[in-house]
Amino acid sequence: MFGLAGMARISKRSSFIFDSFILPTPAINGITVIAQPGLRIQSKDRYGARAFGFNLNIIYADGIFVPIPVPSFTWLVKL
């Protein structure tokens, strides 16, 4: 399994994030990719840093893109 990720700041408090997992799949003679593009909103106060993330999920396998209709959420706290 391989991974590819990145983040591009949109404004002072928000960023576009991208995470992916790349899996070789010999059963279908190709690769399977799970991609998660999303948005992260960040804040920083006297208690530490916090971020809320919202991701959409897409799977690519056997030449077909399949969107997953269930979004994923993250909540990060740095104390």
> In the predicted model, what is the mean pLDDT of residues 46-62?
87
Taking 90 as the threshold, does the pLDDT of residue 7 lie above it?
yes
- The DSSP-derived string for 23-47 is EEEGGGTEEEEEEEEEEEEEEEETT
Taking 90 as the threshold, does the pLDDT of residue 79 lie above it?
no
Tens of pLDDT, residue by residue over 8-53, are 999 989 999 999 999 988 877 788 999 999 999 998 877 778 999 9
What is the predicted pLDDT for the residue at 63? 84
Closest residue by Cα to residue 3 from 35, 46, 37, 44: 35
What is the predicted pLDDT for the residue at 28? 72
Cα 77 to chain centroid, rounded: 17
